[in-house]
Structure 1
């Protein structure tokens, strides 16, 4: 705001200079002096004419005419001396009141017709930007009111105008657009954020979520690729599986939706209030699978840990379904992030390793579970594992991890 006042003062000063410069350079106006100068010029011109006429023989009495010319000049001299009309006013007596009037009038008109209130509100919102940004980052905007959302949007757009390479700012603007279901703004803002920081997982997730709102199939494919890439990380945000499940359900890939919702259940545990909601979503997807004639065979596995097991916090859970003869090559397998135990997972045809050999083709089977600590499924040294007995495909499987590879 200080720049506004400084600029306005400078403009008023410039106007004052141009308006009152003539008054400061006022010249004295003496009518008698001007008349004397004019008479002298006229007398000299007339003398020159008389000389020319005398030379040409047109005038014989040149001296008489000169005498008459002098007499006419004497007659033009006023008989009474001019009385002074008083001392002229000082230019400053005009300048100062006029300057005050112009200043008051300028600011008064701006206050009435200008955007002083809007500018003050904008300045106030800009000062609140750090606080509102932190609120959005920590609570995903859930506690922000509509007024705070509008204020944050204005503040962010102002900051991004001056700092266009602020990746976090673009991400926050994209999140607000997502909350308002503004797909175009969300995609544009998240794309700029992703271009600035392509390795940031929060930005990848936000960009994928924005692309999912797009009606362009290419955008949706890119969203799916980003989410699947995030799902392979050691630590996976639960929103990744939520978006994957939503996308699979919308594409009527109900088996994949059931799989991802099942993973979410394992991550949050049965005590979470969202657990029952996910169960209802899984039941709905299974009904859709039956109506579509899709194979509904699946294996539900509950996994527990023996007290002697020392769990590596970086480990992942690998569940594999094998033929009843115990062949090492699994028919189906899945990889899950480490969660609280006991945990329950469900495998189906979506987890089949080969198209020619599906889980639903088995009548009996056995299940192995391993805690993979190095991320390489081919190495087993030091990994803890457990396996089940041979069971029918429709039976629930309970496994205790209590053995360790040498």
Structure 2
């Protein structure tokens, strides 16, 4: 903070100079006025001396007039170039008082409205924390300084969970959802924190949160893991196995949590068999979705586009994340064209066509090469992701 205050002090000196320079100029003008008064007094003394000599008969009238004229010329020469005195209505005390009040008032306003705490936080976050407690304090201060930052709230909630403070985490995740929207991942984190805050007691609120999260994203990992834990604690071992198997297929092969998850599935299997139950066979894997779509450009737009303009063809879930589930990039020169969109074209491994029952097809022309915004677009009606009937898509509308 030293460099910040040095810069602030320099700016303050510049501001004070505008107040003090007129005062210093006033002192210089006062000196000039005093010198002029002295010259006038000397002139008057010289004229009195000449009058005395005339009365004594030393000087005649002609000599008297010549002496008076010489004294006047000397006075004029001494006062030449001196500006007329300026009368100040404010006087000198007011600028001096302002010079004192400006820094005091400026400091007070900065402490009230300024962002010194954010400046200090930025400097702190530039250095790695030495402990989890220090990281928590930093995040708490960041949230206090920026209460509308959903990202800061999210990381604080995760930190509280790592410190076994689920009640605090649940409150933070609720605030995050209110700010960032009801995103599946946030709902899953909120439900998990609430579950542990309630002493591992399932409730309608937690059920509602997990249901909403999985409806928007059937592969939301936190909700799947939480439902498996709750089912295991309630001795519903088959449900626990099913939830954890669904979660297991989402994890990368090198994920460290796979072994712990597999261990939980093994324990649930053993307990189910020990109680006389039998593990149900896992449902057959879903057939990979594959959509075939023919894309063409409306006749009235053919002279309004260029051959090199980008064309983005993608499918997105009608109810779920806005990110494309499958996408391909071509150019206007390729139109008309027939393409296939399937799980192999997924933008992210966890977002595949086969995971969402209903999708919408979109074709967009973008001169800037941006898939999210362009000049012209064509959209289909919602359709099942499992459909095998070839679709036709015409780019014919302004992209709004």
Q: Same fold (TM over 0.5)?
A: no
Q: TM-score, normalised by structure 2?
A: 0.41
Larger radius of gyration: 1
After TM superposition, the score normalised by the length of structure 1 is 0.40
